Structures are given as structure tokens and as C-alpha cells.
Chains A and B, each alone.
Chain A
């Protein structure tokens, strides 16, 4: 609990005498020393006393009222017996047969099938539910043909008087709410109810009075009716706050393995949040709890699975398509026979070139003269047209630039005959296979709210039935209850029984309970039905939208990081080339000096990863070659000029840095910083503890080690010479690190900063990605529990990504 609330609890214990003697002592000492606390205690006491006073006043009011009522009763002299009014205007005493009294009432005849449960509505609006196989003939044989079911009703006073009906029960008078007569015939023969079968009736427009009951009519010898066997009517059900009932499917939210705490307990009480749940500190920290509004929204999110999908979703496998159509000539991230395609789509688009047309038929574009200068750079003649569609080209583009393997094209309409599953880059996931089996969470959401308090849905009886309804997977069954709010529960139970084959037994069990209903007027019932239909659609759409947004978010995250990675890879590549060039230059100069020759104006150009060195003499070519190899591999140069016997030696010596920190670093950059070059060399490691590099004897080096544990930087600087050196990194703030880097050689500082920046991007990306993954995992776990028949891709979409680029931090130049 919050600190403040703890104090209030303490004060209360003190004021209500719930403290032990020693506790009182300690507390009173605190009071003496702390006037603010004293004031707080006084206030709390005032509130307590004032509350008591309020209570007393309320009690006084009630006492006054009851005093006045008793006085009034005494004055009027009224006793507690209620006397009803009797209608016995005309009593015919002839010895006519049983039907004489009812012959004047209009007869309603309904034909029903014996083998089915039947529901009828009479002229007076009475609902009659007749179970299957309810009748047998006089000899107790089963009925095979259709049944004529006759009903006569006498609810109006006129009808009652006209037919001379009496309301005597064993000689005593009854007040009547209405009478009706039920008879059944089959092929003219009179039927009776089979043992154990009952007909249920829902009678409208009766103002039920306390103590009203249903009597059976027994015909007496003189033809009159004696009313016997009183049965009480279905009682109204007890309603609860609907948000405290459990409408979840079985096992949810337990599958989350956390306890659920109710956030808003009381309707309208918005002041409670999870902080105020009275949870212990460590319980909140260990995250043992989810709030109910969270478990609700997690559950309702699955209603997107019920939103109608118009078209099948098709996934194109960009990787497969690339391999099949492009990889013969194009490599990933470098030039092959054909150029590196990364970024080409954007470039072409910018220049207004039609890359689609080009890929399908390169010559045509060239011939038509529609290609821009950039496009023409590429060796048009070398490329054959490819038989790929525009969508396939898009999928390949996504793969090349972003590493996305499964490119989703949701309104893709392929020609039917070209649809092949697997092996050709097509994977078609039919929307039909993603139809979930279960109750639509949107439907649950539309009823699980305070609008339905004081209806039949806000009862424990309904809660029980809903558990079974979840198992039926039929929204229709749930809708029976929703659309019959004005009816007693047994009525909906009976309909459910006949509309749900898989669970007829369970609903029959409920039906036999003969549970009543909750009074709700018809207008309200209709309003609520409409509300449900509307809300259900809205919820489905909202959840579908949220899902799509999340998928987009994932894709965007990946694309952005992928782009950054490619940029970094390019930068690193260029940096390596740059620093290599400079070192090579120095080596060459020295080698020539040693050989006593003048260094020719050899220039190297780096082009697309290939180092081309032009030379001006033939002889020097050999030297250059050796020098270059030695520089590339950082091996000592030992060259002897066969003509002159002169030697050129440049030594490379091993240096090792041993990181002696106890901590384990998330990332380590260990740089060799040569004094004459404009960038660093990286030292390599296999275990993140021992870093090795080779030092060029012509240069002087220092080392700069930078380590990260999450966002905290550690560093150490030192001289570097051949052999092993132990170092220990110490913490440094970002500020100080920035200052340090700005002091070093500008370019080196910038290059190191680039490393740091990219590392920070990596962290951000990994965090977001793992949070997305966690969300997907949870969605998948719960989704598979709720809808076990669905494939994974229906629940979380397809989100495979190719591993993509990683930065090459080794110090080799290819």
C-alpha cells in the first residue's frame, strides 16, 4: 500500500484502540515530536466522529419514521389481512358435462409435432413451451402423428363472467388473475401429459400480487371447477453487479499465470487504480498481477479474428523468388556479374525510371530511349528479361532492401492457374482456414457492462449458462439469451436446448431448473438488443485496426533498422578502405626507400571492393604486390630484390590486450590508433576478453578501449606496443566521453562516435523488437489457448525476417 495510506491505517489503529501498549507508547512519542502528525490525527478523529454522528442521525430519522407509521396504523385500526374481491356473478347449477363452462370461450388450435420442442404464443400473448414427446394417449401409448393442441384463455373479466367460471378453492374464495384451458388431441383422441413432462407458461400482463399462485382445475360432479394444487410462480432471480461476474471462457485468464485484480470495482468509482489495490510492494514489483481491464482488453482483441475478411491473403517469399530469378547474376550486398541491387529501386524511382518494365525486358527500355543516365550505367546488354510479375518484383525488392522474407500482399489476386503452394515463392493462406471456433469476444464485450445490470444477464444463473455457451462455440446460442431479456430464463434455456445439438443435455438440465427471470420492460430489452448488434461490429473493427497497426509497426521497425544497418555497413567498408590505403602508401614508400628506388607514382583506386593499383613500371609491380599482400594480411614484409639483392623489410608485430574487468560487457570496441593515419584499426577477439592485433613497425600506436554494459560506458586509454597488455576499463559518463573523443584526431573521434551511435541504435532496436516479440508471444499463447484449432499465422501473422546484414567488425579487407 502507499505510504500515505499506511499512515492512515496506523492512525486508525491508534484511535480505535487496536494498538498494544508498547505500540501506543511509540506512537505517542512520535506525536509529541511531530506536530504535523498530530494535526493529521486530529483531523482523522474528526472524520470518524462526524461519521458516527451521521450514522446516529440516520438512525434517528428511521426511528422517527417507524414511530409515525405505528401511530398511523393504530389510528386506522387496520389489521394485516388482505381480502380479495370475488367474481361469482353467475353460477350455473345444471348437471352439464365438463366442457359446458368453457364452451363460450374462443378456442385456439395449434398443430404441433410430437418429436420437437415447441414454443407457441397465444392470442393473449401467453408463451407456451411444450417439450418433445410430452403426450401419450389414454392407454399410455406414444403418439405418432401430429397433435392438435387447444388453448382457451379467460384473462378478461368479460370472458370470465360470460363463461360462468368460478374461483372457489375448496370452498374458499380466490382472487383471479386469469384462467386458461389446455387440451391436446391426436386424430380425435384426447391425450394426456406423460409422467415427468411439463408444459411451461409465460403469462403476460398480470400484475403479480404477493402470494399469487397457479392452481389446477378439478372438475366436480356438478360441473363446477374446484381449484387445487397451488404452485408458486417462478421467482425473480437475484441480480449482481455484472462486472463482478465471470464471463470469460473457461481457464481464462488463469492461462496467463497471474492473478487478476479488479480495477474498477464499483460502477462509477473511477478513483481506484492498481496502486490502490492494497497490494504489498513486492507483489506489485514481482508483477504477479494483471488488472481486469488489461485481461479484458487482451481477450477482446481476439474479436479481430471474427471480423469478416473479403479476400485471401497471399504471402510471397521474396527470398525464394530472388534465388530463383536473380541470384544467377546478382549477389546480395555486393557486385557480382550484375551490380549490387540494394537501394536500386529507390534510385530508379527517384529518376523516374521504370524498373518493372526494365526487369521484364531490359532491351526494350534501352531501345525506347526512356532510361535515365543512372539506369544506363548498368550493363543493359548483359541482362535477360525475367518472367516475374510486379508483385513478385515488389517481394524481391523487400527482400533485397529489408530482408523481409514473407511479403504480404493482402489484395493480391493471382491468376488461378499460377497459384502453387510452396516451392515457387507462393504461399497462400486461405482466409477460411483462419475462422476461429469460439464465442466472439466482441459479443461478450457488448453485454459485459453496466447497461445490462438488472437484467437476466446479471445473474449467477446466467454466469453458469455462459460457461456452457462458450463450449458450444455458437454465437447464436448466446444471442438467444440476449434477445429474450424479458422472458424467464427457462424460456431461453428451452430454445437453447433445441438449437444446439452438441449440448442439448446441458441445456435440458438448466431448463429443468425452471428458473425465473428479471423484470425488464420491452422497450429497454429492444434497445439493448440493438446496442449489442452495433457494439459487436465496432469492437471487431477496432480490434482488427489495432492488429494491423501493430503488424505495420513491426514491419516499419525492421525496415528502419535494416536501412541503418546497410548504411553502417557501407560506412565501415569505406572506412576500412580509407585507412588501408593510407597504411599501404606508407609501407610502399618505405619499401622503395629501402630498396633504393624511387617510389613510382603509384596510385590505388578502390572500386567496388576491388583494389586496383596502377603502376608505372613493370619491375615495381612485384614489389607493390608483395607490399600490398603484406599490408592486407598484416604479415611482415621480407622482400629481396633479385636483381640488386637489396631487401625491404617491414615488420608486423603481435599485440594483445587483455581485458581484466570482472564485469561482462555487452559490447567492446578495442581500437589500435596509429599516429599517422586518419582512422583506427580494430583488434579482434573470440571471447571478448583477449583482443589481438598486429602493429606496423613503421607506426606508433596507442589503444583506446570502449566497453558498454547496456547504456553505461567504460573506457581506458593506453600506449600500445608488441606483447601482452592488461587493461581495466573504468566507468565514464557520456559527457566526458564526448569531450574525450572531440579532443582526439577529428576523424578518428568521428569514426569511434559512429560506432557508438550505431551501438545505441542496436540497443534501441533490440529493446523494441523484444517488446514486440513478447507481445506476440503472449498473443500467441493466449490465442492458442482460446482457439486451439487456429494455425499460428492466423493469430500473430507472418513475421519471419531474414537475418540480414550484420556489420563486419573484423579487420580484413576483402
Chain B
């Protein structure tokens, strides 16, 4: 089933393909957001957040999708949009969230975490592009240090490692400055 395929692809580190499949559910979600007073840009953002949440769930081995992916994403997107409206003081109590999936119980928590991380994104903009690249390769794509060294044209693994730590040092420093 296509839905299980999405989860499988994410777990196989082929998330790009998984997301491509998910995008077929976007038009419906877009219509929903717009109907609740959002813009197309809002719809894009919300959909993206929903995908991120799906990803983080999918990589947990214990996660099991019991409904269709589209349905799951739809519910998450609705929740996020409601929360957004609340934050903007445009609360619309007419938005009903139907929780089809008991995995959506911790949705609040999960989304809160993502919002925190969103704030840190600004910090990541302050470090060099090379640093950003190293971080993504290591923490997201899970490349080995040797592969990273090759990718970044460093002459040894040790240098790549040291560079990564230096970037981390800089990033942490910049968090301080932000706050």
C-alpha cells in the first residue's frame, strides 16, 4: 500500500521520495486551510510542518500508521492551523479536530518541540554554509565522517571531525548571543 511505502521510504533514508508521494495530499489540505482563513503561503508552511512531524514519528520503530497518510496529515495540519490561529488571537472554536489516530495524542507536545526548534533555525543561519552542510550531512543524513571528509574535500577524517566540533562551538556561542 502506498501509505506503508511512505513510512518505509522514510525509514530507509529515502525521505525525498516519501515526501514526493505525500504531496498528492496537499491540494485537499490547502483547500482546508484556505477555508479557515489562511493564505496559500500559510498552507505551504503548515503542510511542511505536518510533514516534519510525520517524519519524526516515522523514524520511531514503534510507530504504526493505522489510517491513510493523507488522513493523518490532514488531521495534523488542521491542528497546527488551529494552534496558529490561537497564537494570533484569531481563535476559531468552530474548527473541530477529529483525532482518528491515537498517535495524535501527543501532538501538542510534539508541535511545541518543533516550534522551539524553529527558533533555533535563526541561529543556524548565522553559521557558515560549510558548517550547515556538515551538520546536515552528519545529523540528518547520517553520513560517516569519512564520507563527509570526501564530500567537503577535506584531506582527512580527523580534520572533518575537528571542523564539525568547531562549528558546534560557534553555533552554541551564537545561541547565547541570540538570547
Please give the residue numbers on chain A whose beta carbons come within 8 Å of chain B beta carbons, in ascending order: 1, 4-5, 8-9, 12, 40, 43-44, 46-60, 62-64, 66-68, 70, 240-241, 244, 262, 265-266, 269, 271-272, 276-278
**Contact A52 B23, CB 8 Å, known A1-B162, A47-B175, A276-B166:** no
- Name 8 A/B residue pairs within 8 A (Cβ), A-sorted: A47-B124, A50-B117, A53-B52, A55-B139, A60-B48, A63-B18, A272-B166, A278-B162
How far, in whole Å, are A70 and B24 apart by their CA atoms in the complex? 12
- A residues near B155, Cβ cutoff 8 Å: 244, 262, 265
Does A5 contact B162, Cβ atoms closer than 8 Å? Answer: yes
Quote the shortest CB–CB distance from B140 to chain A (angstroms).
Answer: 3
**Contact A53 B121, CB 8 Å, known A40-B172, A244-B153:** yes
Nearest chain B residue, comparing its CB with the CB of A262: B155
Does B15 contact A56, Cβ atoms closer than 8 Å? Answer: yes
User: Within the complex, which residue of A4, A5, A67, A262 is in contact with B23, where a contact is CB–CB below 8 Å?
Assistant: A67
Interface string of B118-133 (1 = CB under 8 A from A): 1011011000101010
Most buried by B among A52, A59, A265, A276: A59
**Contact A64 B23, CB 8 Å, known A48-B139, A54-B124, A241-B153:** yes
User: Within the complex, which residue of A4, A63, A240, A265 is in contact with B15, where a contact is CB–CB below 8 Å?
Assistant: A63
Nearest chain A residue, comparing its CB with the CB of B128: A269
Does A47 contact B165, Cβ atoms closer than 8 Å? Answer: no
Q: Does B85 contact A (CB under 8 A)?
A: no
Nearest chain A residue, comparing its CB with the CB of B170: A271
Does A278 contact B117, Cβ atoms closer than 8 Å? Answer: no
- B residues near A278, Cβ cutoff 8 Å: 158-159, 161-162
Does A51 contact B162, Cβ atoms closer than 8 Å? Answer: no
User: Within the complex, which residue of B19, B52, B117, B118 is in contact with A64, where a contact is CB–CB below 8 Å?
Assistant: B19
How far, in whole Å, are A102 and B100 apart by their CA atoms in the complex? 79
Nearest chain A residue, comparing its CB with the CB of B129: A268
**Contact A56 B55, CB 8 Å, known A50-B117, A262-B159, A277-B162:** yes
Does B19 contact A63, Cβ atoms closer than 8 Å? Answer: yes
Nearest chain A residue, comparing its CB with the CB of B153: A241
Quote the shortest CB–CB distance from B82 to chain A (angstroms).
Answer: 22
Does B153 contact A64, Cβ atoms closer than 8 Å? Answer: no
- B residues near A244, Cβ cutoff 8 Å: 153, 155
Q: Does B154 contact A (CB under 8 A)?
A: yes
Q: Does B79 contact A (CB under 8 A)?
A: no
Does B172 contact A44, Cβ atoms closer than 8 Å? Answer: yes
B interface bracket (residues with beta carbon within 8 Å of A)? 35 or more
How far, in whole Å, are A262 and B124 apart by their CA atoms in the complex? 27
Quote the shortest CB–CB distance from A633 to chain B (angstroms).
Answer: 72
Quote the shortest CB–CB distance from B138 to chain A (angstroms).
Answer: 8
Quote the shortest CB–CB distance from B53 to chain A (angstroms).
Answer: 10
How far, in whole Å, are A241 and B48 apart by their CA atoms in the complex? 36
Nearest chain B residue, comparing its CB with the CB of A261: B159
Does B166 contact A66, Cβ atoms closer than 8 Å? Answer: no
How far, in whole Å, are A266 and B166 apart by their CA atoms in the complex? 14
User: Within the complex, which residue of A44, A47, A62, A265 is in contact with B16, where a contact is CB–CB below 8 Å?
Assistant: A62
Quote the shortest CB–CB distance from B92 to chain A (angstroms).
Answer: 27
Does A240 contact B159, Cβ atoms closer than 8 Å? Answer: no
**Contact A59 B169, CB 8 Å, known A1-B162, A54-B121, A241-B153:** no
Does A56 contact B159, Cβ atoms closer than 8 Å? Answer: no
Interface string of B146-179 (1 = CB under 8 A from A): 0000001111001101110110110110011000
The 4 closest A-B pairs by CB, nearest first: A55-B140, A63-B19, A278-B162, A51-B135
- A residues near B135, Cβ cutoff 8 Å: 47-48, 51, 54
**Contact A47 B120, CB 8 Å, known A5-B162, A63-B23:** yes
Does A5 contact B159, Cβ atoms closer than 8 Å? Answer: no
- B residues near A55, Cβ cutoff 8 Å: 136, 139-141
Interface string of B48-67 (1 = CB under 8 A from A): 10011001100000000000
Does B163 contact A272, Cβ atoms closer than 8 Å? Answer: yes
Does A43 contact B52, Cβ atoms closer than 8 Å? Answer: no
